[in-house]
Amino acid sequence: MVLSSRRRTEGLSKKPKAIDLFSGCGGLTLGLRQAGFSVIGAIEADAVAAHTYRQNHRNSRLWQADIESVSPAQMRKILKLKVGELDLLAGCPPCQGFSSLRTRNGAQRNRDLRNGLVSQMVRFARVLRPKFIMMENVPNLASREPFRQLCRDLKRIGYRVEYAVKDASRYGVPQRRKRLILLASIDSAIVFAPEEAEFLTVRDAIGTIPSAGSGADPLHDMPEFPRSTRINELIRDIPKDGGSRRDLPAKRQLDCHRKTTGFSDIYGRMAWDQVAPTITTGCFNPSKGRFLHPEEDRAITMREAALLQGFPATYKFDPRLGKIAIAKMIGNALPPEFIRRHAILIRSALQLAD
């Protein structure tokens, strides 16, 4: 079903300015642009993600660099911004360091060096003094000291701060994806976009695209990695439209699967009329989750993964980068529609303040 609020930006004429920190392949930038923002600058350290960003956002000035080496004062001068002129500073610091899976659901302390990158939001905010700040990350971050320190620091420099955990499936994204979103403002009231009871499904997102291998889209036609005969037979026999390996007799299951009661989505099919599971960096591999096509005996393609993440079919991912690199970018990206809906309310608040 197509939601009534999708892509609507009625009554919003002026283009406010935004900067995207930790831009990745450009999901956040795309959502901001769809909401009517002009994304004038972005920072991304990874060369592969930066290449993809440039392919899709040619009018944004991109710094391909470690964010800690970028001077916000120099960025402000290059972008010809006055202090306080920037409307929105947005970013998603690398979240792998706060993943509950990586820390065995919090049982182990995670010393990932990327954890400290959250503080970069404050470093840039102190110099640029944006009217609004938006940060998105994994829910687990909310209970961690780097996030608590971020909130304290933003309040010290004059910002109101609100945050909440939201499920992207309630915001026009055909995928279960719970995310922490922080909004901060100097002058305006902070309002999160309203949730919707209706949702988009796997069928809505990928039900009408041509068959993989048709030659219409190189991203859709990337071949799967070779599998053993036993695995191919296992995939073939998993029931269509939402079936699981657990639907098979025990003797048909792999030895490693019979020894565990967890990870039930492994070698599972998506269901046509439900939202997809969270699209991760392993979405090309059915041994990493419920990533089998609802009907065909294969994993979802990279184009299907991108559509389920909320990217339009025209979004460019260079197939020469390889499936693993592309899956990493898609899995780490922010769903553009989720960002768009919150950004529209920020834009409205900016207009009321003018």
Q: Which domains does the chain have, with CATH numbers?
A: 17-198+334-353 (3.40.50.150), 202-331 (3.90.120)
Contact of 293 with 278, CB cutoff 8 Å:
no
Q: How far is it between the farthest Cα atoms of the chain?
A: 68
Contact of 160 with 185, CB cutoff 8 Å:
yes
Q: What is the mean pLDDT of residues 179-207?
A: 95
**Strand locations in the chain, DSSP E?**
17-21, 38-44, 61-64, 88-91, 132-137, 160-167, 178-185
Q: What is the pLDDT of residue 85?
A: 97
Both tokens assigned to 6: 């999708």
Q: How confident is the model at residue 312 (pLDDT cuts 50, 70, 90)?
A: very high
Mean pLDDT of the chain: 89
Both tokens assigned to 297: 């005996």
State the DSSP string of 163-177: EEEEEGGGGT-SB--
Catalytic residue among 25, 92, 95, 283: 95
Distance of CA 78 to the CA centre of its chain: 28
Q: How crowded is residue 301: how many other Cβ atoms within 10 Å of its Cβ?
A: 26
CA dihedral 32→38→41→44, nearest 10 degrees, is 30
> How much of the chain exceeds pLDDT 70, in percent?
86
What are the pLDDT digits (tens) for 269-286? 999 999 999 999 999 999
Q: Distance of CA 61 to CAs 20, 37, 252, Å?
A: 10, 14, 54
| CB-based contacts of 249, cutoff 8 Å, min separation 6 | none
Q: 92 an active-site residue?
A: no
Q: For residue 254, is pLDDT > 90? A: no
CA distance 128 to 157: 12
The closest of 277, 268, 350 to 308, measured between CA atoms, is 277
- Single pTM value for the model: 0.88
Q: What is the pLDDT of residue 4?
A: 41
Q: What is the pLDDT of residue 105?
A: 40
Q: How confident is the model at residue 236 (pLDDT cuts 50, 70, 90)?
A: very high
The closest of 302, 142, 283 to 219, measured between CA atoms, is 302
What are the pLDDT digits (tens) for 7-66? 444 444 579 999 999 999 999 999 999 999 999 999 999 999 999 999 999 999 999 999
CA dihedral 204→175→54→91, nearest 10 degrees, is 140
> How much of the chain exceeds pLDDT 90, in percent?
77
Both tokens assigned to 101: 């899976």
State the DSSP string of 236-302: HHSPTTT--GGGS-GGGS-HHHHT-SS-TTTT-B--TTSPBPP--TTTT-GGGSS-B-SSSSSBPPH
CA distance 338 to 27: 10
Q: Distance of CA 162 to CAs 132, 259, 324, Å?
A: 12, 43, 36
Q: What is the pLDDT of residue 3?
A: 42
What are the pLDDT digits (tens) for 88-111? 999 999 865 544 444 344 444 444
